[in-house]
Amino acid sequence: MAVPKFDPKEMEVIKELPASPFMPAMKIYSHPVSNREAVRGLLKKEAIWQISGMLESRLFSPRVVPDNIARAFVFEANPFDPNKGGGPDMFGMIWEYVPVAGGSMIRPGRPFIEDFNEWPDKIVWPDIEAWDWEGSAKENKSLLDDEKFNVCWFLTGWYERLITFMEFENAVVAMIDEDQQDAIKAFFDKATDLYIKIFDKFCTHFPGIDGFCIHDDWGSQQETFFSPSVASEMIVPYMKRVTDFLHSKGKYCELHSCGQLMKQIPNIIAAGWDTWCPQAMNDTHKIYNLYGDKLFVGVMPDNFDPGTSTEEQQRKEARKYAAKFCNPKKPSFFNFNALNMLTPAFREELYRQSRIHYSK
């Protein structure tokens, strides 16, 4: 696709979106292509403007997957009250919705499995054929239109799934316990078979899905939970099977993984992920410089105070950001965790400058 040249007429505002829990109020400009085409362009290294996440994409996590109800994270055509979240996930593990946290958790102190060698006798596998795929597809038929890039979120990956059965402390020890590692690998292998079947159902019943965002947290505020060698041996091979499958279906793959993961980025790349949006404790500029040619990185701007900086200071920051990170040969996207910095002036200048840089 030839990237269209910037036309100043694009800066005409055709719509204004009110603020939401996910993003500030936004002005919509007269884009030369749809939001969906713009995200696809980025993923083909033919970026058109600096993508800013929720504005161009649609989060899709239907209630047909029990985990989405259990985690109170349902986003589909029919509204969902998160206060009705909680209950069993696909493996029957019980979650409780915590209103003050805005999310669900498994009640601590009651691990379902303490020695993971017991999993073949304890874990009951879900019957995904019994899930109402056709009903969900019918309900959401008009939702996944051509305007936005549709991303299906899958909340519980490999290590996170292990935590649901064992709780965090037991799970992190089991990952390095030679007596439990083979059992974990066997479970991860079977879980990967299950995940691929679920994703195949999504591809069949929701052809409007463009990509998948799969969750598997690997780190804390300061450090990764386990070494890169452990992740490489215990998780990466199973992730790679999933990303290979989704790529074979023409879908893009994003990893959602929280924490300080600088050490794990080679594993993220080896596992076949297309994009990763690091949290703010990561040095996203360094990550972009080191790995931005192998992984689409969500880059944070330099820190500034949106409440006290002048409009011209905000525009200056946007120009500086675009000059560094809107490289047509090495494109990136705007980090979702910095949406508070996306002031009207910053965003307007970023859109203009990114269009100029990417269409050179």
Average pLDDT, the chain: 96
Is a pLDDT exceeding 90 seen at residue 55? no
Average of per-residue pLDDT across 78-104: 95
Count the alpha carbons within 13 Å of 94 in the hemisphere toward its beta carbon. Answer: 7
CA separation, residue 175 to residues 7, 105, 161, 228, 238 (Å) = 54, 21, 12, 12, 14
Q: Looking at residue 2, what is its pLDDT?
A: 83
| 94-98/87-88 β-pairing | antiparallel
Compute the average pLDDT of residues 13-39.
Answer: 88
Tell whether the model's pLDDT for residue 22 goes beyond 90: no
How confident is the model over 97-104, as a mean pLDDT?
A: 91
- What is the pLDDT at residue 301? 97
Q: What is the pLDDT of residues 261-298, one digit of tens each?
A: 999 999 999 999 999 999 999 999 999 999 999 999 99
pLDDT band at 10 (very low <50, low <70, confident <90, very high): very high
Q: How confident is the model at residue 109 (pLDDT cuts 50, 70, 90)?
A: confident
**Cα(174)–Cα(180) distance, rounded to whole angstroms?**
6
- Return the CA Rg of the chain: 21
Residue 149 clears pLDDT 90, i.e. is over it: yes
The structural domains of the chain, ordered by start, are 63-276 (3.20.20.210)
What is the per-residue pLDDT across 290-345, written as a single tens digit (0 to 9) for each?
999 999 999 999 999 999 999 999 999 999 999 999 999 999 999 999 998 999 99
* Residue 244: per-residue pLDDT: 98
Query: Exposed, middle or buried, 296 (CB in 10 Å: 0-12/13-18/19+)?
Result: buried
Q: Which two tokens stand for residue 227?
A: 């070494």
pLDDT at 145: 81
Could you tell me the pTM of the whole model? 0.96
The answer to whether 231 and 267 have CB atoms below 8 angstroms apart is yes
User: Residue 82 has what pLDDT?
Assistant: 94
The model's pLDDT over 202-252, given as tens digits with 9 standing for 90+, comes to 999 999 999 999 999 999 999 999 999 999 999 999 999 999 999 999 999
- CA-CA distance, 71 to 82, in Å (whole number)? 9
Q: Which residue has the higher pLDDT, 3 or 22?
A: 3
Residue 268 CB neighbour total at 10 angstroms: 22
Q: Looking only at Cα atoms, what is the longest distance across the chain?
A: 65
Cα separation, 47 vs 327, in Å, equals 9
Q: 126-135, 187-196, 269-278, 332-341 — which is least confidently predicted?
A: 332-341
pLDDT at 253 over 90: yes
Q: What are phi and psi of 323, to 5 degrees?
A: -65, -35
